[in-house]
Amino acid sequence: MPSGASTGSHEAVELRDGGDLWNGSGVEKAVKNVNTVLREILVGSDVSDQEAIDELLIEADGSENKSIMGANAILGCSMAAFRASSLVKGVPLWRNLPGTWPDPSLPVPLMNILNGGAHASTNVDVQEFMVVPYGFSDFGSALRAGTETYHALKKTLGERGLLGGIGDEGGFAPSLQKNEDGLRLLVEAIERAGYSSETQMGIALDVAASEFYKSGKYSLDGREIDGADLSAIYSSWVDRYPIVSIEDPFDEDDWSSWVSFTERGHDIRIIGDDLYVTNPLRLQRGIDESASNSILIKPNQIGTVTETLKVMGIANQEGFDCIVSHRSGETSDDTISDIAVGTGCGWIKTGAPARSDRTSKYNQLLRISESGLPYSGWN
């Protein structure tokens, strides 16, 4: 199961062994839970009844945050049943989603090509600078454009002596004088690759502000500022750059700053990740307070396929956009690609076009695109 370097404190618990072996990150306890307690309750169950299977898993754990069995153990079982059901029915995974959803479509990828924050050992505070190839007629063309922009950025960084290592999600990880320099670099890369930053490709940010928030202040570019000052910075960036979304612009519990920024009415997606952690109760608070207009969806934050889809259903009913997402510590499993397609959510976030844990999702979307489904960006 995937794991996050930047995690919300309200997420379901990823069970780790602790101790000295594997630097404390072993998962023998979680694996034992799968092979004993969870196996016993699942053997003989109807694999086509996803909700019933997930309810058994939730009851076996018994805690509010999956801390007994571990969300990593529970989600592995839930997703295994989901895949098994698809095989039994003889249908693609994206056609096997329980519930009623909009027409399936290929999602627009948010491609993290410049890494900072907890994803890189640099001085850049913003965690992810992403390109968003929305202005194309099909997914393959959009993926190619994003990949060409990724390599254009590499050339630019190399020419300026900024080409160093690679971050957790496959993007380049330069040290920059200011966070805003990342925005300038992405616009330059888009245009260098031969695309328009006005009609074909935008920019998305994952600020992950909880990572640089302490005692009511945010530390950005070496300055200590409050939520109002940070909100003003974001507004200036939105005015000057082709930004289409900002994820986690404020701390996970700084609700007042979220509400204030959303009230400004910028025509962008304001996405809650650490704020909501794919949790229906936290999402409902965000809806009630108009704290944002979009939610990031990570199955391992909540622990089962059923609960993940429940949150997406609530978001759909309230007019929130859903962005299905990977984690910084990923596996080669490509289930989130099918979830994004089958729910017709329109957006997927799964890293740079590099490394097998990221390209596995893109390759699955390319395979699904052969079925002739429409590309969300074009619409």
Percentage helix, strand, coil for the chain under 3-state DSSP, each rounded to 5: 45, 15, 40
The CA distances from residue 305 to 59, 200, 239, 364, in Å, are 15, 33, 38, 19
Active site residue 298: yes
Phi, psi of 6 (to 5 degrees): -105, 105
Give Cβ neighbours of residue 159 (< 8 Å, ≥ 6 apart). Answer: none
**DSSP assignment, residue 21?**
G
316: number of CA atoms within 13 Å, CB side?
16
- Could you say which of 14, 148, 169, 252 is catalytic? 169
Specify the amino acid at residue 244.
Answer: V
Per-residue CA distances from 171 to 145, 177, 232, 350, 376 (Å): 15, 18, 27, 11, 24
Q: Distance (Å, rounded) from C-alpha 242 to C-alpha 234?
A: 12
Name the residue type at position 149: T
Which residue from 292, 357, 356, 347 is spatially nearest to 318, judged by alpha carbons? 292
H runs (alpha helix) in 160-304: 180-192, 227-240, 255-263, 280-289, 299-302
Active site residue 169: yes
Catalytic residue among 66, 298, 349, 361: 298
Residue 33 CA: distances (Å) to CA of 13, 70, 191, 205: 14, 8, 51, 37
Q: How many CB atoms lie within 10 A of CB 268?
A: 17
Residues that are catalytic: 169, 298
